[in-house]
Each structure stands twice: as C-alpha cells, then as structure tokens.
Amino acid sequence: MSAENLQLFEIFLRSRRGLDHKHVGSLHAEDHEQALEYARDVYTRRGEGVSIWVVKSDDICASQEDDSESFYDPSNDKPYRLATYYKLPDEVNNM
C-alpha cells in the first residue's frame, strides 16, 4: 500500500461555534470517511475544532492565474463600487 493509490482531500475546520469553516490543509486518504478520521488525527489533536469538512481536492474548481485579467482587472477602474468613494455629509460621523 502506498500513497499513490490514495486520493487527496482538502480539510476545513470550524474552530468555534459561530465561526466559519477555514481551510487548514490537505491529506491523503482512501475515501471521505477515512479522510475525516485522518483530519481528526492530523489537524485537531490540540483541541482546535468542533466540526470538520472534507472535500475531494478534485472537486474543487479553482480560478487560474490566466483568468485574473478578465476576472479582477475590470473592477480596478470602478471605484464607485467601494463605500469609501462616497463623500459623507458631516452629520454622519460614524459609518
């Protein structure tokens, strides 16, 4: 048996109730069930979590470096999308 037969999983951990699950890393496992157990052993040994999500890395669709021109550049010249663009009347102190 070797890691070559295993799949890669991404691990998300909720550290406290009320917080979002955060990506903490990845690991190899045979299937979801085993990934969950390994996540427990690898990422929650010091009491870091109250809930774990495991997701097959293959199932994550990620944006590519090449996409950045079409994805993000267009917003650079649209400052009116930011709240700071607008001048507030003096009467509104705390916004």
Site residues, another protein (CB under 8 A): 1-3, 6, 27-30, 33-34, 37-38, 40-42, 45
CA–CA gap between residue 10 and residue 45 (Å, rounded) = 17
CB of 24 to another protein, least distance (A): 14
Residue 15 or 44: the one with the smaller Cβ distance to another protein is 44
CA–CA gap between residue 6 and residue 27 (Å, rounded) = 9
CB atoms within 10 A of CB 38: 18
CB of 76 to another protein, least distance (A): 42
In contact, 30 and 6? CB cutoff 8 Å: yes
CB of 58 to another protein, least distance (A): 18
